[in-house]
Structure 1
Amino acid sequence: MTNPDTRSLLKDPEGYADTSFVSDMSSGFSGNLGYTMPENWAFDQIATKTIGSGDSKIEIDNNIASGRDTGQGDFYPAPSQKLDIGFNLSYWSALLKEADEYMASIGRPGGTGYVYTRQQCLETIMSADAAISSASRRYRMRKALIQTSAFWEFCHYSYKDVVEDAGVVLYHTGKIPDWGKDLPGVNKLVDSSTGVAKVSGRTCILSRNNSIRSGLLEGDILDATSERDRWAMWQKVNQDNVFNLSTIPHLHIWAADGKAGDHAEAPIRRPALDYTDTETFEILRRYQGFGDQAIFDAKLRMPLYAIFEKYNRIIRES
């Protein structure tokens, strides 16, 4: 409850409270004696009424509402509104089988130029399940949206990508890293799409800047045109799987907001628990970019999204 004696100071700069219940009639408080209502008030206790008589007499609050909070309508939220939770390992074999068989059925990835097997890719994604679950809950988006982008990109991490990564290190340090010395065709490169979810230093900066400015993330605004800032961020997404995967939600939010600083897109609703298939498709497409290839690949990712969501739904509703 909010103490009216201090509510003129209640601005909640840390964002811990979404809304407030103002207890104007609670004993010991001074009620509406010259204090400003908190900016986030949802309900205000303005009077106490007595109903009944004798032993059946009770007092009830008479409250007014601002509309910021609609209150609780039931005790069992609709499945579409339930937050995702941690993965249940008893479903691991089934998830791996479905995801692997689907990717094989569409021939993605194909050939011998890829670094990791599909099982290794899925194992890496699921090893960071705690971070992915936390991010999905914090930003109220479907966990499958993060998993799909990560798994798809990691499966397509090729030896060409490794060569480009070595080129980035060469550009910024003047030396080819030990792991890239035997690679053919290493040339200097300012930035590359790297790590589990193939995130570049530039897009990482742009997406995180967008979330910082939106109040969703704490941190310093970096310059996406600065080679120094791009190199610093590139090293994080290249070397830290959790940081890389935790950037995906910000890439999705940035994409929904219109991808400021990149190829402009029309803003759409940010990822939500009740996202439609159309909205999901659009976010998956924007993750890859624009044009016919991005559209084609997004269509291929939709069944993969359905596989992840199938098991996430089973787990969150069990």
Structure 2
Amino acid sequence: MNTQGYFKGIEDAMADNGNAYEVGVYGPRNVCTRVGQAGHSTASFVSDMSSAFSGNFGYSLPTDWAYDQIVTRTIGSGDGAINIDVNIASGRDTGQASFNPPAAQTPDVLFDISYWTRLLADVQSYMESIGFAEDDERMYTTTQCLETIIARDVAVSNTARAYGMRKALIQTSAFWEFRHYKNEDLITDAGVWLYHNGHIPDWAQGLPGVSRLRDSSTGVAQMYGFVGILAWNNSINTGLVTGTPKNPASDADIFTVWDMLRTDNDFALTSVGHAHIWAADGKPGGDEEQPMERRPRLDYTESEIYEVLRRYQGPEEPAFTDARKRMALYYIFEKYNRISRSAAG
């Protein structure tokens, strides 16, 4: 692991947020010294209990040490015995005696386009690290997919604010799905359009595979018309939006929603938000049964973020593996959404 590279990332993140906090490092003497000398930290908490530890043996205390963890002792006896770490302090840091209340959860705002280049670089770097070169065999490059998402930022922002969720949930799911769009998907979409527009002759209606042309995952959200209907129906039935539910068994309704998902990026991205709500509700009519404790909220925990991202893809692999990969994308989007919130506030 590149320790200094990791701390350089932390230093950059602090700078992006106005350096409201200083950076400290906890670790053996060697790590603390190297990070401090590189200028990425201001003080060290040294894990010094083992002199034989490779990061301690032969190294002196870093010059910026604030606390030195020197020994573990047992206090109490019997069932009440506990181990505590004994630390000594240099006086460089006096600790924290009081705390302000947690910051209010602020709704997202429009993306600050001045951060586009940095957002793109971070997304490109991450996607390349998991095997997605900028331009590969898929239909659209990383840049084209990200441009598509950011170009519809008004729809994404409005949806997130309307339903009290983070924009990053919508951005992550849509970008991930769109980045996977291949030539085969384009051909499948063409087949669905032909099916619903009467271009499948009567003699071919019963052939194997023709029934699959009724629906496909399409558009920037890579969402089935059937799924779009169920997601919007759930929001209608629970009073989030007004409207008349569509029939997921109707070819006409399937095609209406499918074609909107394919051609209207605003509708598709708004549908991602409703799909996340539907997923948290247990996907009534879909492939999940157990509702989550909460619908998407501004204070969603990491486990809730993971679960709602996973449910977007389904209850089987590769949904679980991919959701772990999408978590990193979520935090990249959230990084720049947070910066935009701070700049606007």
TM-score, reference length from structure 1? 0.70
Find the counterpart in structure 2 of residue 95 from structure 1: 119
Out of 267, 273, 276, the residue aligned to residue 298 of structure 2 is: 273
TM-score, reference length from structure 2? 0.65
1:224-283 CA distances to partner (integer Å, 9 max, x unpaired)? 111111011111111111111110110000000000111123111100000000000000
The Cα shift of 1:219 comes to 1.4
Output the CA distance in 2 between the equivalents of 1:153 and 1:264: 20
Kept in 1, the 8 Å contact 2:192–2:216? The answer is yes
Residues 1-318 of structure 1 aligned to structure 2 (within 5 Å): 78-79=102-103, 81-108=105-132, 112-175=136-199, 189-268=213-292, 269-318=294-343
Output the CA distance in 2 between the equivalents of 1:106 and 1:299: 12
Distance 1:298 1:80, change over 3 A: farther
Distance 1:203 1:86, change over 3 A: same
Distance 1:187 1:108, change over 3 A: farther
Structure 1: tracts of 5 or more residues without a match:
1-75, 177-184
Distance 1:134 1:111, change over 3 A: closer
Kept in 2, the 8 Å contact 1:206–1:261? The answer is yes
Distance 1:266 1:162, change over 3 A: same
1:37-85 CA distances to partner (integer Å, 9 max, x unpaired)? xxxxxxxxxxxxxxxxxxxxxxxxxxxxxxxxxxxxxxx9954510000
Identity %: 52
Kept in 2, the 8 Å contact 1:133–1:143? The answer is yes
Kept in 2, the 8 Å contact 1:164–1:186? The answer is no
Output the CA distance in 1 between the equivalents of 2:326 and 2:275: 17
Output the CA distance in 2 between the equivalents of 1:109 and 1:222: 40
Output the CA distance in 2 between the equivalents of 1:151 and 1:299: 15
Kept in 1, the 8 Å contact 2:160–2:273? The answer is yes
Find the counterpart in structure 2 of residue 71 from structure 1: none
Structure 2: tracts of 5 or more residues without a match:
1-99, 201-208
The Cα shift of 1:161 comes to 0.8
Distance 1:79 1:154, change over 3 A: farther
Kept in 2, the 8 Å contact 1:284–1:301? The answer is yes
